[in-house]
């Protein structure tokens, strides 16, 4: 079954080289019961590790069922360990978070046979622990834990069982039970290789190999104690090892052939659900560590959601203000920053009249709407309430141009503009101060001692800088000019272009028309200005985007810090679970299995933190809206972004700890304290 020829193994202990095996040659037949004895440091454990494919020799040849294993890939060695070798450790190496049944079934995960749970239950029953299958290791005695380890070694029906001091930590009664189980397994054709330093244990083996200083010094074959030619076992149980193991041996040889031929990944690869389950168990077995890991991501994602919601709310507020400016709008007003004031009175700037309005209308289809604009202050009085407000005279087209269609009532008509009717549309602030909660439509108010009929209430727009946009009274510009403010000139002209593409051309045409109409011969830029509202809109939108990106970036930094926290926790987890990793590799897990399991664990931590962070961020956004009265808007985009980013953080910061775990040497990991 196994043939070792001239095996050498040397370990580097600091600056000293230690020869663990020095030219060992050994042949083990199928169905043998072999005890390997020797003092500490004799090389017996190293020999067992090589026999169990946990370690590689420095030189020499190693054959299994006639096929050389020299140079075989790690994944294939893991698959062979999983299918043909069963380990029984002196320290049991049971996972504390799992029940006896789950521990026994662990090799099935890496054999892709997790669905065959009844096999684990059968082995638990075979070692007499069916009534204790739901108990965890800390609820079992030492002998019971060792029997669970035996059940785990047998669950994949291996051909060889390697027992490392299987009775070393047991009392006399438990020791006898374990030896009886091993002898029974051997009588059924299982090959047993047992490392022990106790003579009373070795006498139960059919063959005893003694080692010293890395060499085999004796190899004795004999009938074990209690088993001889006259033993009273049934004839069916007295068959020779080769007879009993014949069909199984052929099957094992075929398995070795298949694995060496390159199909090792089939047996050694667990299903994704099994990876997920193992990662889930690992997380919830260390609740505090998991909670701290999740907390970092939770705060990061919550901050991203809240900050982006704040940015979106600010963007919505800006959009509302922009809508009040109008779209594709040009604002034409006299003078420039350096000619206003005294220069305006000196006649050095253009003064606009109704004739300019008519001239702009004649520019053609590029002009969609136009409205003159005059402004001043007026004292509004209703009954015993009075309020000083901004008075604005406009045309009936102003309502559509500046998003001023009344929320209640109506706007004035072209006929009312032409007839200079005394009608007014009030802003919300004026209504609140003059009428309180009463509907003002139809009421009569005095503006600068002149009676006006209220015909509508403007939609609420809020503040724009230091100015309250709702503190205004709109009336026909003809009424404002000739009845209230006594003006002969128009303060501004608002022109709405037919499209965004036409706005630049229209601006140039208006400029040329004004220069010609007012006979401006020098410095036309000092005589009047044309402001393009789309430029203002673009500037505000750009500022809002920058603010949103800034807030999101600040929040992303906290998410990054959370990711670093997960990496630290996972690295600590790798250290804490070093022996567990060694065990998993010993029972058939390959590097890929370990890496994927730890990576899934990191991603799960991030996703749980991400989901809870979305809830936290949404809650904080609601609190900001409720108590701070800030505009907040949670967008699906921010939720998807934060969740996806948390997943990304889990992958990125989980890869390194996962790779560290997968690269652990199984022997060193099992010995880790």
Topology (CATH level 3) of domain 2-62+70-225+238-266? Rossmann fold (3.40.50)
Structure-block tokens of residue 166: 């299987």
| Confidence at residue 34, expressed as pLDDT on a 0 to 100 scale | 93
Which segments of the chain belong to CATH 3.40.50.300? 2-62+70-225+238-266
The secondary structure of residue 66, as a DSSP letter, is: T
Residue 238 pLDDT grade (very low, low, confident, very high; cuts 50, 70, 90):
very low
Residue 242 pLDDT grade (very low, low, confident, very high; cuts 50, 70, 90):
very low
| Confidence at residue 433, expressed as pLDDT on a 0 to 100 scale | 94
pLDDT tens-digit map of 400-446: 888 889 989 999 999 999 999 999 999 999 999 999 989 999 999 99
pLDDT tens-digit map of 120-137: 888 898 888 999 999 999
Residue 397 scores a pLDDT above 90: yes
Q: What is the mean pLDDT of residues 76-88?
A: 86
Residue 312: which of 670, 70, 608, 634 has the closest Cα? 634
53: left (phi over 0), alpha (psi -120 to 50) or beta: left
> What percentage of residues in the chain have a pLDDT greater than 90?
23
Q: What is the mean pLDDT of residues 455-461?
A: 91
Residue 613 CB neighbours (<10 A): 30
pLDDT tens-digit map of 105-121: 888 888 777 667 788 88
Distance CA 114, CA 593 (A): 14
| Confidence at residue 425, expressed as pLDDT on a 0 to 100 scale | 96
pLDDT tens-digit map of 469-506: 899 999 999 999 999 999 989 999 999 888 877 888 88
Q: What is the mean pLDDT of residues 148-168?
A: 88
What is the residue-wise DSSP string for 414-457?
Answer: HHHHHTT--EEEE-HHHHHHHHTTS--TT-EEEETTEEEEEEEE
| Confidence at residue 228, expressed as pLDDT on a 0 to 100 scale | 42
Distance CA 378, CA 391 (A): 6
Q: Across all residues in the chain, what is the average pLDDT?
A: 82
| Confidence at residue 237, expressed as pLDDT on a 0 to 100 scale | 40
Q: State the pTM of this model.
A: 0.62
- Choose the weakest-confidence range: 283-287, 461-465, 484-488, 661-665: 461-465
Residues in the chain: 673
pLDDT tens-digit map of 265-312: 544 445 677 777 777 877 777 778 788 778 877 887 887 788 778 777
Q: Which residues of 528-540 are buried (b: 16+ CB within 10 A; e: fewer)?
A: bbbebbbeebeeb
| Confidence at residue 440, expressed as pLDDT on a 0 to 100 scale | 94
Q: What is the mean pLDDT of residues 222-232?
A: 49
Residue 645 pLDDT grade (very low, low, confident, very high; cuts 50, 70, 90):
confident
DSSP, collapsed to helix, strand or coil, labels residue 42 as coil
pLDDT tens-digit map of 1-34: 889 999 999 987 777 888 889 899 999 998 899 9
Q: What is the mean pLDDT of residues 531-543?
A: 70
| Confidence at residue 223, expressed as pLDDT on a 0 to 100 scale | 67
């Amino acid at each position: 079954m196994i043939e070792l020829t001239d095996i050498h193994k040397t370990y580097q202990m600091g600056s000293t080289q230690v020869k663990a095996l020095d030219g060992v040659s050994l042949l083990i037949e199928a169905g043998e019961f072999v005890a390997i004895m020797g003092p500490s440091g004799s090389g017996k454990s190293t020999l067992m590790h090589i026999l169990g494919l946990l370690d590689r020799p420095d030189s020499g040849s190693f054959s299994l069922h006639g096929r050389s294993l020299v140079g075989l890939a790690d994944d294939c060695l893991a698959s062979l360990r999983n299918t043909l070798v069963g380990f029984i450790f002196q320290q049991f190496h049971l996972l504390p978070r799992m029940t006896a049944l789950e521990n026994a079934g662990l090799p099935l995960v890496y054999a892709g046979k997790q669905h065959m749970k009844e096999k684990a239950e059968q082995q638990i029953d075979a070692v007499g622990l069916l009534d204790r299958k739901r108990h965890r290791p800390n609820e079992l005695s030492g002998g019971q834990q060792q029997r669970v380890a035996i059940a785990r070694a047998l669950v994949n029906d291996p051909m060889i069982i390697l027992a490392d001091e299987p009775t070393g930590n047991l009392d006399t009664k438990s020791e006898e039970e374990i030896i009886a189980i091993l002898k029974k397994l051997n009588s059924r054709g299982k090959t047993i290789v047992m490392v022990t330093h106790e003579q009373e244990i070795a006498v139960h083996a059919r063959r005893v190999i003694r080692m010293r200083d890395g060499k085999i010094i004796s190899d004795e074959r004999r009938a074990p104690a209690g088993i001889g030619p006259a033993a009273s076992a049934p004839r069916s149980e007295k068959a020779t090892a080769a007879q009993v193991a014949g069909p199984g041996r052929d099957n094992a040889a075929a398995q070795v052939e298949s694995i060496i031929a390159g199909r090792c990944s089939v047996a050694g690869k667990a299903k994704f659900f099994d990876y997920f389950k193992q990662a889930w168990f690992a997380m919830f077995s260390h609740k505090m560590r998991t909670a701290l890991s999740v907390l970092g991501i939770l705060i990061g994602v919550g901050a991203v959601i809240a900050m982006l919601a704040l940015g979106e709310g600010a963007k919505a507020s800006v959009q509302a203000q922009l809508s009040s400016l109008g779209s594709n709008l040009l604002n034409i007003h006299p003078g420039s920053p350096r000619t206003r004031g005294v220069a305006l009175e000196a006649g050095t700037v253009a003064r606009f009249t109704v004739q300019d309005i008519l001239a702009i209308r004649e520019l053609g289809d590029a002009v969609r709407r136009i409205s003159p604009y005059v402004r001043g202050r007026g004292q509004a009085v209703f009954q015993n309430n009075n309020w000083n407000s901004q008075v604005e005279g406009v045309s009936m087209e102003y309502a559509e141009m500046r998003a001023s269609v009344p929320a209640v009532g109506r706007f004035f008509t072209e006929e009312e503009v032409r007839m200079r009717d005394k009608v007014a549309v009030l802003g919300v602030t004026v209504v609140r101060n003059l009428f309180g909660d009463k509907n003002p439509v139809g009421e009569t108010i005095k503006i600068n001692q002149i009676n006006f009929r209220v015909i509508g209430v403007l939609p609420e727009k809020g503040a724009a800088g230091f100015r309250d946009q709702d503190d205004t009274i709109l009336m026909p510009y003809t009424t404002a000019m000739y009845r209230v403010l006594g003006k002969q000139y128009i303060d501004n002209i608002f022109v709405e272009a037919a499209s965004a593409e036409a706005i630049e051309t229209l601006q140039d045409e208006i400029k040329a028309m004004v220069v010609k109409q007012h006979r401006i011969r020098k410095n036309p830029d000092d005589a009047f200005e044309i402001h393009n509202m789309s430029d203002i809109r673009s500037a505000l939108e750009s500022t809002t985007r920058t603010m949103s990106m800034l807030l999101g970036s600040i929040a992303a930094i906290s998410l990054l810090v959370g990711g670093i926290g997960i990496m630290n926790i996972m690295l600590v987890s790798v250290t804490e679970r070093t022996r567990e990793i060694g065990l998993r590799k010993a029972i058939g897990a390959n590097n890929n299995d370990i890496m994927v399991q730890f990576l899934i664990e990191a991603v799960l931590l991030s996703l749980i933190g991400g989901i809870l962070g979305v809830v936290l961020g949404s809650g904080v956004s609601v609190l900001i809206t409720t108590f701070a009265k800030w505009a907040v808007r949670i967008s699906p985009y921010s939720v998807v972004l934060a969740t996806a980013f948390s997943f990304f953080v889990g992958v990125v910061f989980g890869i390194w700890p996962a790779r560290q775990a997968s690269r652990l040497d199984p022997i060193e990991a099992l010995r880790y304290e």
